[in-house]
Chains A and B, each alone.
Chain A
Amino acid sequence: MSDQETTDQMPEEEPPTEPQPPGRKRLLRSRSDRMLGGVAGGLGNYFGVDSLIFRIGFGVSVFFGGLGAVAYLALLLFVPSEEDDGTVGEAPIQRSRTLAIAAAVGVFIFLASWGIFDGDPFWFDGGPWFFGGPLFLIAIVAALFYLLRRDRDQATTPGRIITTIAIAIGAAIGLSVLAIAAAWAGATGSGEAIAGVIIAIGVLLVIAAFRGGLRWLIVPALALAVPLSAVAAADVSFDGGVGERTHEPASIAAIPEDGYELGVGRQAIDLRELDWEDDTVVELRADLGVGQTVVAVPESVCVTGDLDAGAGAVEVGGDEEGGFDVDSQPLAGTTATPRLELDADVDLGHILVVNDDELDIDDDRDHGPFRDRDDGDRDQMREAMALACADEPEPPASEREQGTGSPQDRPKGNG
């Protein structure tokens, strides 16, 4: 594309479709040099280089964190396009209220995902309301965008702002109820009914499409489909009830053969009061749908086994793995005793194994027992776990005192 085809900067107050006066070049999406949205063509035209360079750059950058894709999308949304008659059109984000709201929601979800996947699935503080905070904020952002778009031609009054935000929050609450109901149905074995409702809404939308459309049905349908698909994919099950459970078996025989199970909530299994002999091996199973499982053992006990998290994190003795489909097998093959062989599953949430004789596992329950612990505490647990899981028996205290290990290398106390 030649420079003549590049439109020039025009004052902001001018209508967007006016012919452009001569002056400084303006970045516009190209109409003639276009493969997708004309972004690369417009950049090439603006900088006076071959647009192929930008196309290659965008393509390659996708494989390096996807920043190029984000940049392309942003340019596609915010940069206006040149029109066939040489005028400058509006940017898509200006032309479409839907796109403006969608972009706001997308940006917010992108930002929120950093918090969600930063080792804390209970972002915005625990329970079924953990996504309530984001929904409220999305509602407020959407309402403000709606007002900003609509208020170009109308006066903004505090009453209208409050009314619009209230409606948006009300809609967010309604959608939250739908989402929770869908997730609950999926986790309790009634997901087929919700799937049927989603199909029925789809059929209704197809029929309505030929009579002008019924777009408002799309949002509640997504509010059902997204949580149900998440629950289905993570195999979340609410079998075992809901609530907060603390188990402190007085003896190994008191541990149920099938282990402990909870649907939603927090279960703490404190094994520190068991009679751990040098050759004791305890097998424990713990299942959880959504929430947090905490297993506490004395510092002298080695922990091995198979710990799985559909989505969330597994932390054993200060070492944490997080993400999706986490399968942690700490110190597999270790035969050191005393030993806990733990078989734990959580569909969505945390599994925490604490090897600390003094930690109050009921403390700071909203954020888990490790949230306020520093790296020194984690290091201490790592060292204790490594020592407990060493295949050679721990040297007697008399030898340790003679210099075979510094005090910092030793776990504190004994369970």
Chain B
Amino acid sequence: MRQGLDVVSLGAGLGLIAVGGLLLLDQAGSLELTIGLAGALMAGLIGMILLLSGLNDDER
């Protein structure tokens, strides 16, 4: 593990909690995910993770 705050993990974690929550609601029948909404959610989540990763990269 790296030391200190890892913004990538934080952003990805929050995003996954949000997406997982929506998926849970969909599977429970409380809301109806459409393909357009699901695609936008996934694209947004992956894009955010890549962006955070690129902007905070310290692998080298």
Contacts and interface: CB of A to CB of B under 8 A. Distances in A.
Interface of A: 92, 95-99, 102, 186, 191-192, 194-199, 201-215, 217-218, 221-222, 225-226, 228-230, 232-234, 310-311, 324-325
Nearest to A235: B32
Contacts of A204: 13
B33 A92 contact: no
A102 B9 contact: no
Interface of B: 1-10, 12-21, 23-24, 26-28, 33-39, 41-42, 45-46, 49-50, 53-54, 57, 59-60
B39 A233 contact: yes
Contacts of A195: 20-21, 23-24, 26-27
Contacts of A206: 9-10, 13-14, 17
Given A205-B9, A233-B35, 6 more contacts: A95-B60, A96-B57, A97-B57, A214-B9, A217-B9, A225-B16
B17 A202 contact: yes
Nearest to A208: B9
Contacts of B53: 96, 98-99, 102, 215
B27 to A, nearest CB: 4
Contacts of A324: 35-36
Contact of B1 (A197, A201, A212): A212
B19 A209 contact: no
B53 to A, nearest CB: 5
A202 B14 CA distance: 6
Contacts of B24: 192, 195-196, 199
In terms of DSSP, what is the predominant structure of the interface of chain A?
A: helix
Given A99-B54, A99-B57, A212-B6, A198 B37 contact: no
Given A212-B1, A212-B3, A234 B16 contact: no
Contacts of B27: 186, 191-192, 195, 232
Contacts of A233: 33-35, 37-39
Contacts of A197: 20
A212 B19 contact: no
Contacts of B6: 208-209, 212-215
A218 B42 contact: no
Contacts of A310: 35
A92 B59 CA distance: 13
Contacts of A217: 9
A402 B60 CA distance: 84
B33 A209 contact: no
Nearest to B50: A102
Nearest to B35: A233
Nearest to B4: A212
A306 B11 CA distance: 44
Contact of A229 (B2, B7, B33, B57): B33
B57 A98 contact: yes
Chain A to chain B: the 7 pairs with minimum beta-carbon distance, closest first: A213-B6, A205-B13, A202-B16, A198-B20, A233-B38, A209-B10, A202-B17
